[in-house]
Amino acid sequence: MNLRLGIVSILLLAAAPALAADLTLKRVLLSTGGVGYFEHEAVVEGDAELSLDLRLDQVDDVLKSIVVYDDTGNVGGVELPGREPLSQTFRDLPFGRAELNSPVALLNALQGAEITVAGPQPLSGRVLRAVPEQVVLADGRGIVTRHRVSVITATGLRQFVLEQAETVSFADPALRAQVDAALAALAEHRARDRRRLTVTSRGQGRRTVRVGYVVAAPLWKASYRLTLPDAPTAGTAPLQGWAVIENLSGRDWDAVELTLASGNPVTFRQALYQAYFVDRPEVPVEVMGRILPPPADTGAIGRPDAVPEERQETRARALITPKHSRVAEDVASVARQVMAAPSSPAPAAIAARTDEATTQVLFRFAEPVSVRAGRSLALPIADRAVPAGQVAFYQPTSDPRHPLASVELKNDGDSGLPPGVLTIYRRDAAGGVAYVGDARLGPLPVDETRLLSYAVDGKTRIDRQHQGSQQIAAGTISDGVLRLRQIERMETVYTVTAPAREARRLVLSHPRRPGWRLVAPPPPDVDMSDTTYRLTASLAAGTTRSLTVVTERPRSETIRLLTLDSRQLGLYARAQELDPKLRNAFAEMVALKRVIDTAEKRLAGLREEHIEIVADQDRIRENLARVPRESDIYRRYLAKLNDQEDALERLAPEIDAAEADVDAAARGLRDYIDGLKI
């Protein structure tokens, strides 16, 4: 069977084909990508036209994805009305759509048209105007509105009442045809949100034609039911998988071949059912021989024969806007692919099986499926026993004191399982079934395992304690800077107590942090997820067990040695983790720092003494101003003030010498540090 695609041509109004046949929906593929593939088919003989009604919001997708399979014939084309068929219909008519709402509006819109009136007042002439008038009924029984039409005839102006005329006809046959065509268009497009697509097939003999396309569709949902056995040590549990689908296509699905695809395909829309126009520059009209200046010069680009044809073509397309250019390139690309498409056999009938492709899992139903429009349906996609173990799964972020009752589920089938909700039941020893909780199942590829939590295990208790520490690993000194490499260590102890009468298999989740490495337990004994380490332990009934997790990370620290005080220098001098040369250097810095501290202490004492004397002098001077000059107290204050001046004269050189000592001691430490390179 040859695969051919017709060139899509959007017409203003598609003429109704004389031998049109309706396509019947035969196959549906629903994807979790939010789209669906719908395939219709019809048996035709000779040349034929196949019609299909579409919703307006589906037309863009259909134009993007439509594919036609013909056994032996050729596809002549695909036609459908324009996006705004009625506006295009009335565009060239002498009246608008609103004028067809009443005869009065139509007559007034066609002012000057020649009409013929039959009735109590027969006449012929050209319409002048139709105006309303109020008429009081006999005996005052009410008021009615009627319309008086003025007509210019050969004998002059005449009038008639429109409601009393038997017939009013337009004399011009072309005008009558326009009115008839407008009314026919209104009837054809009464369903304003639908379009009729027509596929033309050219060929001979009896054959099957198939038309398929991809449009938006509700994504189908998977849900599961898992029944846990009474014995916790049982290795398997029955799993049922169901698919929930909705038919919102607007038409019934009657015995269709249904396929469900689980994957994450790339899907997008493009406004193909929209008219685009190329932007053209507007130039002024030349008046009085005015000459247009050339565009701004951008420099020479080489000789004419040196300009690549590719660049010349680029210049020729420069007036097309980028958006329109991309659309044109996309259409051209599709056309090239269509022309180059090789012959391929017809799609095989869908079998009842599950297939796993590179990017998706397909669920094919052996029996035809029927779903009325607007209805939902649940269909089984899995029913088998799977490896399942019951565990207590501890996640501190979920519950800091208790683990979660969970199931460790493995997919040992031939294809992956799509994501969905999981309802969990438990069967007791007597055969009864009870609901125990819900879980969420993510995508489960073949041979992978997932932990599914469904309830809090309040019988099992877990305590945890954290303790952090830092340890110096190495250090160097150069350019007056201490560079340390430290090891930061975090130890977490989990103490787990099992129920008094029940054993537990525990899976403990410990967070993984960027930059940290696992030290204990040994990494080969630990499983990992994207964000956690997972430790496994078995506990007998009523027992308590401790699990210790140790993680470390390296840290680098840079410290300017001159910013350290004596206490900090002493800590590094006593740090056994450092090299002996470093410790000796720090011990020397401690000694030099003590010299500085001693000199600074002496300087501070001298300055304090100086401040005290100056403050006392201020007090004495105030007192001298208050006592008589001939008094003994005045002479006493004066003598003390004299002694204080002598003390200040003595302190001045001592302060200068102490400052020099501090500077010398500080310079000694600085020079020592600057000379270190360890």
Mean pLDDT by groups of 10 residues along the chain of 678 residues: 30 32 87 91 88 85 89 79 69 86 91 91 92 84 89 92 90 91 77 77 88 91 91 83 91 92 82 80 71 50 44 36 36 35 35 58 89 92 91 91 93 89 89 90 90 92 91 85 90 94 92 91 87 92 94 90 88 86 89 90 90 88 85 86 87 90 90 88
Cβ–Cβ < 8 Å for 481, 559: yes
Q: Determine the residue type at 501.
A: R
Q: Judging by beta carbons within 10 Å of its beta carbon (0-12, 13-18, 19+), is residue 14 exposed, middle or buried? A: buried
Report in angstroms the alpha-carbon separations of 58 from 77, 81, 246, 331.
19, 14, 17, 18
Cβ–Cβ < 8 Å for 460, 496: yes
pLDDT of residue 271: 81
pLDDT of residue 25: 93
Q: Judging by beta carbons within 10 Å of its beta carbon (0-12, 13-18, 19+), is residue 624 exposed, middle or buried? A: middle
pLDDT of residue 553: 92
**Distance in angstroms (rounded) separating the CA atoms of residues 10 and 197:** 10
Report in angstroms the alpha-carbon separations of 88 from 83, 96, 106.
9, 11, 19
Cβ–Cβ < 8 Å for 278, 47: no
Report phi then psi at 658, rounded to 5.
Answer: -65, -40
pLDDT of residue 437: 93
User: 361: closest CA among 444, 442, 475, 479?
Assistant: 444
Cβ–Cβ < 8 Å for 75, 4: yes
Measured over the CA atoms of residue 247, residue 249, residue 253 and residue 257, the dihedral's sign is negative
pLDDT of residue 393: 93
> Coil, strand or helix: which one is 201?
strand
pLDDT of residue 287: 66
User: 424: closest CA among 433, 414, 413?
Assistant: 433
pLDDT of residue 303: 44
CA atoms within 13 A on the CB side of 29: 17
CA angle 155, 161, 167 (to 5 degrees): 85
pLDDT of residue 168: 92
Cβ–Cβ < 8 Å for 422, 239: no
List of long-range contacts for 668-671, beta carbons under 8 Å, 24+ apart: 668/592, 668/595, 669/562, 669/589, 669/592, 669/593, 669/595, 669/596, 670/480, 670/562
- The strand pair at 156-161 and 20-22 is best described as unpaired
pLDDT in tens, 435-445: 999 999 988 99
Return the DSSP state at 407: E
Report phi then psi at 378, rounded to 5.
Answer: -115, 130
Strand intervals (E) in 56-113: 67-70, 74-81
> Coil, strand or helix: which one is 646?
helix
Return the DSSP state at 72: S
> Coil, strand or helix: which one is 487?
strand
pLDDT of residue 85: 63
Following CA atoms 96, 97, 98, 100 in sequence, which dihedral angle do they give, to the nearest 10 degrees? 100
Residue 145: its H or E element = strand 143-153
Q: Judging by beta carbons within 10 Å of its beta carbon (0-12, 13-18, 19+), is residue 445 exposed, middle or buried? A: exposed
